[in-house]
Amino acid sequence: MIATKLGDSQRGRSTRIAMASKSSTIIARRARTRAEADFATWLMMAKLGSFETLPENAQKVLNGYRERLDRMSEIESKAVAVRETYQAYYSDMGGTGEAPEPEPRAPPLADRGDAVVDNVVRFKKPQKPQKPKVIRVADRGARPVPTGGARLPVPALLIFIALCAIVVAWKFLTK
């Protein structure tokens, strides 16, 4: 009986540890996303000439970014700046300890070769659910209605050509 209770308490403890790591993972993901978005925004605002209107922490991060550009590439400098911002956001959001290293995002590969595929997803409107049609007893032998319940539209050009043909035929027959 005591062993069972001990086992239950140990299971509960491991569950709590797993939950804590799951919440820190969520905090880390949110902090990383926010850091990337904020850095991109700050950089764009600085390029547009409104550096002075940025918050003090943003100005500090951008000044560090500019100083690092002399020593390293733009991509590396950006990664360091985002990492600094990410660590600050992680602790502000309630993360404990050192901010975990995010999982690297693998770029999607094309079917042929190592070319990177565009990862933009086209927006598709959700389809409306089809309501089942109620068939009346009187309509059972009637001609089937085209899908959608409406008649097929006749193009305007076809109507215009038909009217022109009628006018020409009328003038030809009345002479």
Q: Has residue 57 been placed in a domain? A: yes
127-151, pLDDT tens digit by residue? Answer: 888 877 776 666 666 666 556 556 6
pLDDT band at 24; cut points 50, 70, 90: confident
Instruction: Give the count of domains, the chain.
Output: 1
Q: Has residue 42 been placed in a domain? A: yes
Q: Has residue 122 been placed in a domain? A: no
Residue ranges making up the domain that contains 87: 2-92
Q: Has residue 143 been placed in a domain? A: no
Does the pTM of the predicted model rise above 0.75? no
Q: Has residue 24 been placed in a domain? A: yes
> Across residues 61-82, what is the average pLDDT?
89
Q: Has residue 43 been placed in a domain? A: yes
Q: Has residue 103 been placed in a domain? A: no
Look at residue 109 and give its three-state secondary structure.
strand
Q: Has residue 173 been placed in a domain? A: no
DSSP string across 75-107: HHHHHHHHHHHHHHHHHHTT--SSPPPPPPPPP
Distances (CA, A) of 136 to 129, 131, 132, 140, 146: 21, 15, 13, 7, 17
Residue with tokens 């990862």: 119
